[in-house]
């Protein structure tokens, strides 16, 4: 199934001991609807406060309900901040996480205070120079180890990722960053954004990015940008 959600009121995708999770809300709705225990598996674990426009999840069931009926009924059971966009029969062996070949994220930055979009953007009051940010981001494209740009607790088994493309675009008062890769590490996009913003403030030079990639030292990279500006916008499968 493909779904969208507003991550503002959630502890993230994954079920946690305390707090609302998207996986938990879906599991409860599916179990009620299908009258059997069901726990959906997502393509990735978005963090608390992070949104999704097209998260993908899979689940198994013995029910023979039509997929269109499942989608309609789920949307009646789920809270307003989660919506199921599509439900379809999956091919044999499909796995929402391990079958994915690319994911694309979008991060939005607003210059100056906003009200209506406050839970969708990172608001900056200090102007940034976007040209060096564009230059710096081009160093990310290709195969690299992103140890400097991921959460180190726990330490990931591998920090290797292949970035297919990344770009900055201006839209009115906003700067929008899009990045697509074969995989992402925990907090990776948010740490990249925090570091690139420091480039835009003149606190770093664009040529520092290759040095950070080579060193793999999280302590040398920038801050972790807040979660509300981040959205999972696409998951690609073969």
Give the residue numbers marked as catalytic: 47
In angstroms, the Cα distances linking 116 to 80, 87, 110 are 17, 31, 12
Q: How far apart are CA 7 and CA 224, in angstroms?
A: 17
| φ and ψ at residue 233, rounded to 5 degrees | -110, -20
How far CA 151 is from CA of 67, 148, 217, 219, in Å, comes to 38, 9, 11, 10
Expressed in angstroms, the distance from the first to the final Cα of the chain is 16
Give the strand pairing for 51-58 and 230-236.
Answer: parallel
d(CA 16, CA 27) in angstroms, rounded, equals 13
Provide DSSP, 122-143.
EEESS---HHHHHHHHHTTSEE
């Amino acid at each position: 199934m493909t779904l969208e959600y507003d991550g503002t009121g959630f502890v993230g995708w994954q079920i946690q001991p305390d707090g609302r999770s998207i996986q938990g809300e879906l599991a409860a709705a599916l179990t009620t609807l299908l009258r059997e225990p069901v726990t959906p598996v997502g393509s990735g674990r978005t963090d608390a406060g992070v949104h999704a426009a097209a998260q993908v999840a899979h689940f198994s069931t013995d029910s023979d309900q039509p997929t269109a009926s499942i989608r309609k009924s789920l949307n009646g059971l789920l809270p307003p901040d989660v919506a199921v966009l599509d439900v379809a029969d999956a091919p044999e062996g499909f796995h929402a996480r391990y079958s994915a070949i690319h994911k694309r994220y979008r991060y939005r930055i607003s210059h100056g205070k906003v009200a209506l979009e406050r839970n969708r953007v990172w608001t900056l009051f200090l102007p940034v120079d976007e040209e060096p940010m564009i230059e710096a981001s081009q160093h990310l494209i290709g195969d690299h180890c992103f140890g400097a740009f991921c959460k180190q607790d726990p330490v990931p088994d591998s920090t290797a990722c292949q970035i297919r493309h990344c770009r900055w675009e201006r839209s009115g008062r906003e700067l929008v960053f899009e990045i697509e890769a074969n995989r992402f590490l925990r907090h990776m996009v948010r740490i990249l954004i925090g570091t690139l913003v420091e480039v835009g403030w003149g606190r770093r030079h664009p040529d520092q990015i290759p040095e950070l990639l080579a060193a793999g030292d999280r302590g040398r990279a920038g801050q972790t940008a807040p979660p509300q500006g981040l959205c999972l916008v696409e998951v690609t499968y073969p």
